[in-house]
Each structure stands twice: as structure tokens, then as C-alpha cells.
Amino acid sequence: MKIPDTVPEQFDYNLPAERIARYPLPERDSSKLLVYRQGNISESRFSAIGEFLREDDILVVNNTRVIRARLFFFKPSGARIEIFCLEPHDPPDYDRVFKQTGSVVWKCMIGNARKWKEEDLTGSITAGGGTVELRARRLAEERGEALVRFSWDNAGITFGEILDTAGKVPLPPYLNREAEEEDVRTYQTLFARYEGSVAAPTAGLHFSDRLIASLKKKVNLDEITLHVGAGTFKPIQSDTIREHTMHTEHYEVNPGTLKQLLENDIRIIAIGTTSVRTLESLYWLAVKLHSAKDTTPQDMHTGQWEPYSSAPGLTRKEAIETVLDYIQKYPLTSLHATTQLMIVPGYIFRMVDGMVTNFHLPRSSLLMLVAAFIGDDWKKVYDYALQNDFRFLSYGDGSILFP
């Protein structure tokens, strides 16, 4: 594979505002389902997705949990400053940062940034049965993102509790509305367990308790964790894909899931683009581990274009075995890694046989991933969805794709 020179305009289409689902349907699994199989398109309901799966398929879901990542401060002048927590910086991992008391540093996006100069921002919140003064200090800025230190005066309160109390659900900007209390429930999958995402893995929003119970009678269901970053919302604005800088995301895979994936005669169906990205990154991480025996846990990263300049050399089974051997070597309870992988047309999939996903923004990296998976037929799929009243984006309808 070589790094593509594709231009983003090839992945543009007209998305009327009225086709964007601003609210979810009352029942999670009642959305429409577009079925694409080897070039043919049909239509069903998401609740019937089991009809399109085989016995012993493995569905891989993302169990990340969306955090209340938006904090608001008001200056004495009345100006409102929004601080959108993107990724922990100190401490650098999600588990520790949410348990921290006293002070943390996050990489953030700042809304109304020109109104925030050098002064600290302060605000009072009620948490843990008492009043807490929360302070935000801007430390540095790079490429439109800022490092912000949050500190508070109650050592009995964790940063996780502060976000749960004072933070707001980070709804995608294209919904063009403020988060409502019901979004706390609806903008969260039923698989959500590990906090860290600032956007939901939206393909998973379609799964209800009854659907999950029904599917488990027919297929295997396993979990990975990828904490979704705000970069998932950003359309590509560079002249070519090669010039675009993909955002980095953290993921975790446990040995139990890897052992399930070892079966040669099963299909792996990724629920959402985040699961696709995790599984494919896992393959290229295995290639690195296989060729560089001295790789340490600190080197567990897949670069944006790494697969396009690396020789694969491993079967899927060999790749999974390589990762399992690495986990045993250190030993680790699970594999923690980061990925900047950008999947665009020309990419050859090594791990994923089918994908469940929603309908994505024009010119987005998510749409390009879909185009890589089913080729130019993405246009046929999106034309069908637009002509047949499918609802688009995070709260919209779903699709299941088999190339």
C-alpha cells in the first residue's frame, strides 16, 4: 500500500439539514437498517439485524463511556467560556485522572477563547455534599488546543465526581442544540463501562437490552475499548488526504477477546468505525511487535500512515497470537495502546469482515473509512439512504456492510 493522494472532494455529498437526526427514536432498536451485501442493497429494521448474521459470528463492540466533558465558566463581565476536555495530560491515563484529587491537567478546546486572557477562571459547584471552588488555569496552547490545569479546594472530591456534577454531555456540534437531561441516557450505549470518550460510538446506540439478549443466542459478543476523541467530528479541510493530521485515540483490548478472535473460520463484525479502527490498529501493532522484539509498553502506538509503508507478513491468526505472546511476556492484564491510523481507500483490511455503522458527515475520515471498506459503492449506499428517508449522523439510522 502507498500513502494516497486522494482529495477530500471525492467524499463530499449534499446532506440536507432536515436529514440530520437531532433526537433519537424512542426505542433504540427501532431505527431503519440499510443492508449492503456484495454490491446489493436492501432495507430492514435494526431489531432484525440478527437475520443478517451467521451462527458464531463475533460482534466486537466498543465499551467506552462518554464523559461530561464540557465545563462552563463565567467571567465577572458575564462572558461564558467553555472548556472542552479532550484528553488527560497529567496524569496521562484515564483511570488515574478520574480518581485524582486536588489537581489535573487536560488537553482542551476552548470556546470563546479570545475572551480568556491570562487570568484564572473560577466557579463554585456542589459535589460530595458540599461546595467546591473549581479553578482553571491556561498553561500553554498549540494548534488550537490548550493545556488547562484544573484545581479544587476539596481533597475528598475526585475529578470524575467534578465532571459528573458540573460537566455537560458533549453532543456533536452538528445537532445544533444544547444537551438535555435525557441525552445523559440516550447518548450512551448499553455497553458503556469505561469512561473516556467525548463522543459516543454511535453504531452501538441501536442496541437495546432485548436485542442484545436475542443476539447472544446466535453469535458471540466481545468488547474492546477505544476512547473517542473530538477529532471524529472534524471534516477534512486540507487539499489532499495526505496533508491531514489524524487525531490520536487510546484503546484497550483484553486477552479474553483476543482468544475469541483466534478462530479461523469465523467472521469478525465490527460494531462501529471505532471498533474497526481498534482491530485494524491491533493488526499493525502485531506487525511491529513481530519485527521489533524490544518494543516496550511505552512504544505501543500505530502511526497515521504506518500501514501504508509497512509490509504485513502476518495472517490474522499470527497477528493475534503475537499480541497474546506480548501480553504474556510482560505480563499484562490487558493491552493498552494508542492509534493515529487513518483508513482511506486503498487500505487493505486484515481483521474485519463486516461492519455496522451509521451515516457520516461529508468529507469526514469516517466516511473515507466506509469508502475504503466497500469502495465506490459508498455513493450508491448514501444515495439510497438519502432517497429512502434514512436519518443521518449520531442519532440516525444504521447500516450493516459486507464488502
What is the DSSP code string of 11-59? G-----GGGB-SS--SSGGGSEEEEEETTEEEEEEGGGGGGG--TT-EE
Residue corresponding to grid cell 482468544: 259
Count of other CB atoms within 10 angstroms of residue 13:
13
Q: Which residue matches cell numbers 429512502? A: 388
Phi and psi dihedrals of 104, rounded to 5? -145, 160
| Whole-number pLDDT of residue 217 | 96
Binned at pLDDT 50, 70 and 90, residue 199 comes out as very high
**Confidence class for position 233, pLDDT limits 50, 70, 90:** low
pTM as predicted: 0.93
Element containing residue 375 per DSSP (H, E): none
**Residue type for position 375:** G
pLDDT, tens digit, 9 for 90 and up, residues 137-184:
999 887 778 999 999 998 889 999 999 999 999 999 899 999 999 999
CB 290 within 8 A of CB 322: yes
Closest CA to 186 of 202, 175, 174: 202
pLDDT tens-place string over residues 328-362: 988 899 999 999 999 999 999 999 999 999 999 99
Q: What is the pLDDT of residues 98-115, one digit of tens each?
A: 999 999 999 999 999 889
Measured between alpha carbons, how far is 403 from 4 in angstroms, rounded to an integer?
21
CA dihedral 47, 52, 57, 61 (to 10 degrees): -40
Q: Single out the residue of 169, 168, 175, 65 nearest to residue 395, CA to CA.
A: 175
| 17 Cβ contact list (under 8 Å, min separation 6) | none
To the nearest 5 percent, what fractions of the chain are helix, strand and coil? 30, 30, 40
Listed range (133-142, 232-241, 353-362, 387-396) with the worst mean pLDDT: 232-241
State percent of the chain over pLDDT 90.
77
- CA 270, CA 351: separation in Å to the nearest integer? 9
Q: What is the mean pLDDT of the chain?
A: 92
Residue-wise pLDDT for 12-24, tens only, equals 999 999 999 999 9
Burial track 39-53 (b if 16+ CB lie within 10 A, e otherwise): eebeeeebbebeebb
pLDDT surpasses 90 at 293: no
**Which one-letter DSSP state was computed for residue 373?**
H
pLDDT attached to residue 118: 82
Cα(131)–Cα(125) distance, rounded to whole angstroms?
6
Backbone φ and ψ of 29, nearest 5°: -95, 10
Q: Tell whether the model's pLDDT for residue 232 goes beyond 90.
A: no
What CA–CA distance (Å, rounded) separates 285 from 339?
9
The predicted model gives 216-235 an average pLDDT of 88
Tally the residues of the chain. Answer: 403
- Supply the pLDDT for residue 402: 98
Q: How far is CA 218 from CA 72, 212, 213, 297, 402, in A?
A: 46, 10, 10, 36, 18
pLDDT given at position 144: 76
Q: Examine the pLDDT at 247 and tell me if it is beyond 70.
A: yes
**Residue 131: pLDDT band by 50, 70, 90 thresholds?**
confident
What residues have CB less than 8 Å from 314, skipping those under 6 apart?
Answer: 283, 286, 287, 290, 322
Query: What cell numbers appear for 88 in the block?
Result: 488527560
Contacting residues for 374 by C-beta, under 8 A, at least 6 apart: 36, 381, 401, 403
Per DSSP, what are the bridge partners of residue 397?
none
CB 286 within 8 A of CB 317: no
Q: At residue 245, does pLDDT exceed 90?
A: no
